[in-house]
Amino acid sequence: MVLVTGASSGIGRCCAELLAARGYKVYGASRREVDLAGVESLVMDVTSDESVSRATAAIIEREGRIDVVVNNAGISIAGAVEDCCAADAREQFEVNLFGTLRVCRAVLPAMRRQGSGYIINVGSIGGLVAIPYQGLYSASKFALEGLSESLRLEVRDFGVRVVLIEPGDHRTALTSNRRFVESKVYGERFDCAIARMALDEQGGPSPEGVARLVHRVIQKPNPRLRYTVGPVMQRAAVWLKRLLPYALVEKAMREYYGR
């Protein structure tokens, strides 16, 4: 039995549809009902403790267990760090980090009792290599990395496997749904960087590749902690950051995003 959050579009939708097509019983969770072939629609707002608790309890009551959770719900707020206020940061973290935390806390008692389970947290290459004017988004995904590492250490002895899927740019609704914090100081630089991001996202691969990776991961008895997926150059950037002096990485990032 699989629970996928953020199932209304993009990566979440593809994961829900592909896993259902492969024979899994899938619940697709979103703030509104979704109509996906073979997928049970579940209304869930990951920013609400009560909503997450009610929805996961309903699944457990009906199915008796939860075998896989794909924590995919997320938003993106773009803006210079100087221009983003604490309220912007809270909004970004409320979904991308605290939403994942809520779902993990809700499903872990059942997974511990049954002695098995997979928690797949959808991070981002932007949580490994920070992106200019995406400081809040990158910060939320960096934080998800730490949360997932700790959780993996804590629950392994209970038979629960925690995995980070780290996509690069994919062609999803994240581009059109991104919220912007406007800037008078960084205006031209900001516009140039955002245009580059949008071009990479909408020119990127479809999210079906991420869904196929999720399917492969949950078939492994002992999956790795991290799996990157997406454009080769973006995946290579992760390794270059580890191997090269950061001054070279910084120069390349500034040039790429038009600084």
Res. 187: pLDDT tops 90: no
What is the residue extent of each domain of the chain? 2-256
The alpha helices in 31-134, defined as continuous H runs, are 49-63, 86-96, 98-114
Band (259; pLDDT cuts 50, 70, 90): low
Query: pLDDT, tens digit, for every residue of 192-229?
Result: 999 999 999 999 999 999 999 999 999 999 999 999 99
CATH number of 2-256: 3.40.50.720
Closest CA to 67 of 27, 123, 39: 27
79 phi and psi, to 5 degrees?
Answer: 175, 155
Return the pLDDT at 246.
94
Report the pLDDT averaged over residues 93-109: 98
**The one catalytic residue among 137, 186, 227, 257:** 137
Q: Among 130, 210, 196, 205, which Cα is nearest to 170's?
A: 205
DSSP state of 136: H
pLDDT band at residue 89, thresholds of 50, 70 and 90?
very high
For residues 126-154, give the mean pLDDT: 97
Average pLDDT, rounded, for the chain = 96
pLDDT given for residue 210 in this prediction: 98
137 is catalytic: yes
pLDDT of 159: 98
pLDDT of residue 255 exceeding 70, the answer is yes
pLDDT band of 154, cuts 50, 70, 90:
very high
Dihedral of the alpha carbons of 73, 74, 75, 78, in degrees to the nearest 10: -170
Q: What integer pLDDT is reported at residue 162 of this predicted model?
A: 98
Q: What is the pTM of this model?
A: 0.95
